[in-house]
Amino acid sequence: MPSNKLVPALEIKGLKKSFGRPAVDGLDLRVRPGEFYMLLGPNGAGKTTTLRMVTGLLKPDEGAISVFGIDALAEPLQAKQIIGWLSDEPMIYDKLTPLEYLEFVAGLWSVEASVAEARAHDLIRWLGLKDHAHERCEKFSRGMRQKVALAGALLHEPRLIILDEPLTGLDAGAARLVKDVLVENVRAGRSVVMTTHILEIAERMADRIGVISGGRLIAEGTLDELRDGFGKASASLEEMFLAIVE
């Protein structure tokens, strides 16, 4: 595995996927190591499709994806080993407890037992799930389910964390907690790629922002770079986003 710091955390070249009509249409994207990258775009822009192809949940029609130098299409298992994925709809098992869920995830990612156990307890505590660690998830609120799913995505300490709308439906407290967890992970040197419709969050958290529309990247840069391109130093991300996608 290439260890060079210059190797991008995620590199997408000429990615295409069509479901009758193009969903992703020749997308090029590069995320640096240790970067918090926000992928924005209107509904149906191709954000989720792109992320699902990166995580190996969808096969692209064309193009290349590499994760820390690993060709994700040729060596999917190696790539999956260092990716953590959280979808917008927390998919957990109702009949398992959070600890049992993490036990299962640790098995899937072959995390060493003692390490997994320590991390699982840390994550459970960190995400405020300690009192519910032995309760079945079936009665959990959406926020709690999202936290369990997030703990699962982080358990194997992925180098690249990919999140699709992770804050949808969360209350302020839970959203804050999730954001804090992500910021901590970026500080620890991990890369985060996240989609969101909450532009204020992108504005505050992202190192760089990519705007995707019609399956193509139509704008990219830091907030300042986007403002420079927009020609208005005080422009909000919302103003710029609407102008870009329209």
Partner 1 sequence: MSTPGSLLWFARFETRLAWRDLLAMMTAGRRDRPDRRGRPARRRGVAIGLITLPIFLHAVAFLVLYFVAAGIRADLPTFIVVTAGILLAGSAMLAQAMETVTRTFYIRSDLELILSAPVQAGKLFAVRIAAMALSSAFMSMLVIGPFINVLAWRGGVQWLGAYGVLMAVSITSTALAVALTILLFKIMGPARTRLVAQIAAAIIGGMFVIGLQVAAMLSTGTLSRFAFLRSEYALTHVPDIHSVFWYPARAAMGDWYSLAFVLCGSVLLFVPITARYAPRFADYALTASSRSHKAVREQSGGRDFRVEPAASALRRKERRLLLRDPWLMSQSLMQLLYLIPPAVLLWNSLGRGSAVSLVLVPVLIMTAGQLAGGLAWITISGEDAPDLVMSAPMTAWGLLRAKIEVVMQCVGVVLFPFAGLLALISLRQALAIAIGSAAAAASSTAIQLWFRSQSKRSHFRRRHTSSRIATLSEALVSITWAAAGAVAVVNTLFAAIAALVALGILACVRALAPRAS
| Interface ranges with partner 1 (CB under 8 A) | 55-57, 59, 76-78, 80-81, 83, 85, 87, 91-97, 99-100, 102-113, 116-117, 120, 132, 134-136, 138-139, 149, 152
Residue (83 or 199) nearer to partner 1, CB:
83
Rounded to a whole number of angstroms, the minimum distance from the CB of residue 236 to partner 1 is 33
Give the strands of the sheet with 10-19, arranged side by side.
21-31, 10-19, 62-67, 70-71
- What is the Cα–Cα distance from 237 to 176, expressed in whole angstroms? 20
Residue (141 or 222) nearer to partner 1, CB:
141
Rounded to a whole number of angstroms, the minimum distance from the CB of residue 59 to partner 1 is 7
The kind and range of the H/E element at 60 are none
The kind and range of the H/E element at 29 are strand 21-31
State how beta strands 83-86 and 160-164 pair: parallel
Rounded to a whole number of angstroms, the minimum distance from the CB of residue 51 to partner 1 is 10
Tokens of 226: 């986007």
Residue (67 or 206) nearer to partner 1, CB:
67
- What is the Cα–Cα distance from 246 to 20, expressed in whole angstroms? 24
Locate tokens 């709809």: which residue?
Answer: 89
Positive or negative, the CA dihedral 46, 49, 53, 58 is negative
Question: How many residues comprise the chain?
Answer: 246
Residue (28 or 71) nearer to partner 1, CB:
71
Rounded to a whole number of angstroms, the minimum distance from the CB of residue 202 to partner 1 is 23
Rounded to a whole number of angstroms, the minimum distance from the CB of residue 56 to partner 1 is 6
Residue (109 or 230) nearer to partner 1, CB:
109
